[in-house]
Amino acid sequence: MLEVSPRDARNALSIIHGFVSLRRGMEGTLEFFHRHQCVQSDPIEVAGRNADLTLQSRVSDYKQEYLYDLLYKKRELFEYYCKMLSILPMEAYPIFRHKMKDFEKKVAPFFEKHRKEVEYVLKALEDGPVNPRKIIDMGKLEWGWGVVLQIFQTSY
């Protein structure tokens, strides 16, 4: 029987989870996603966004710009909802594309019914972030789960 010391077990787990790494920069960030495939993405930043904290602990000299560039400029990664908002390497995209199409079919009637509001929000976002102090109530809307949501518009 092979015995493994607690120290050797800790070292092995550190290596497996990517805490002992020579990964650097944007290339190291992308390499991390090829090895781990999926990282939870939580856009709410209290002590830091989840994906950034995960990458900071595993990629030397990690910067938030690396993830942004890989997602939105180079398109090497994509975001998908896998029980939680997640970031995955583009190689996984074909696996999830059929699920995305099914979801699009389910939500299309909602967006068609509320086309005016959707177009208004998208138009407002073209100029950048919307100041929450300029939000005014547009009314109420019943959504699929029966939850009443407030629909807001910006006042420019």
Strand, coil or helix: what is 7? helix
CB atoms within 10 A of CB 51: 23
Q: Which pLDDT does position 72 carry in this prediction?
A: 93
Q: Which of 39, 24, 42, 23 shows the shortest CA–CA distance to 77? A: 39
**Lowest-pLDDT range of 14-28, 45-59, 68-82:** 14-28
pTM of the predicted protein model: 0.59
Answer whether residue 142 shows pLDDT above 60.
no
Angle between helical axes of 115-125 and 93-113 (0-180°, round to 10): 120
Answer whether residue 149 shows pLDDT above 70.
no
Q: Which pLDDT does position 134 carry in this prediction?
A: 62
What is the mean predicted confidence (pLDDT) over 93-115?
82
Q: Which pLDDT does position 87 carry in this prediction?
A: 93
**Mind listing the pLDDT tens digit for each residue in 33-69?**
888 888 888 777 777 788 998 898 888 889 999 999 9
Tokens encoding 78: 């994509």
pLDDT tier at 117 (50, 70, 90 boundaries)?
A: confident
